[in-house]
Amino acid sequence: MRTRASGENEQRGNLIVLSAPSGTGKTTLARRLVASVPRLRVSVSYTTRPRRRDEQAGSDYHFVDRDTFADMAEHDDFLEWAEIYGHLYGTGRQATGEILAGGFDLLLVIDVQGAEWVRKRDPRALFIFLLPPDYQALLQRLRRRGTESSGTEAERLLVAGDEIRAWKEYDFLIVNDDLETSLAAAEAVIVADRQRRNRMETVAEEIAATFPGAGTVNPDSSRSPE
């Protein structure tokens, strides 16, 4: 008898990295994924940048000053960290370990620099890159967002040109032309990754153990009568 649903073996969770140029929609996609995919949580990063009006401390980010961030980095408290547009961002190591140990997959919404750190530390992680439809679409999205000055907007577009070329380093690519379509694609990737042999070994072994040992079953006994 099956005691668990497929893929719900009690084992350590997996890291899932989602990267994209600023303005592509990765934060929105991440929120939808966590709401729709069971046993998936999103990492809350530490940052030194000021809190925006629509953000909540501890939910969107852990907001800290540069001295606190530097002290955490010195004590190796981050799984990964990077400086982006003059502000520091990092993924807390302790919280990451606790979530993974609890059997949850953890979604890291980080830039390509942070993704490179994770790639070196955990080669088992799943890497997804979210692409804008094209340059003009990204430009329009940044302007609709209305949070950037003309100088910051130009800087983000310049950086996006470099980041977009990192797609070759990722396992899966999703073009975010339509949010619902992108969501369905990302869900399919995560669910499929959970069925990899190395993640299903415990379930497979338990199922195999319910069958009689090799050589104890008459091969003809399972055939349907003619």
Domains of the chain: 15-201 (3.40.50.300)
User: Which pLDDT score, from 0 to 100, does residue 12 have?
Assistant: 87
The two structure tokens encoding residue 55? 């953000």
213: pLDDT strictly greater than 80 = no
Burial of 148 (0-12, 13-18, 19+ CB in 10 A): middle
226: pLDDT strictly greater than 60 = no
**Pairwise CA distance, residues 81 & 63, whole Å:** 14
Q: What whole-number percentage of the chain has pLDDT above 90?
A: 65
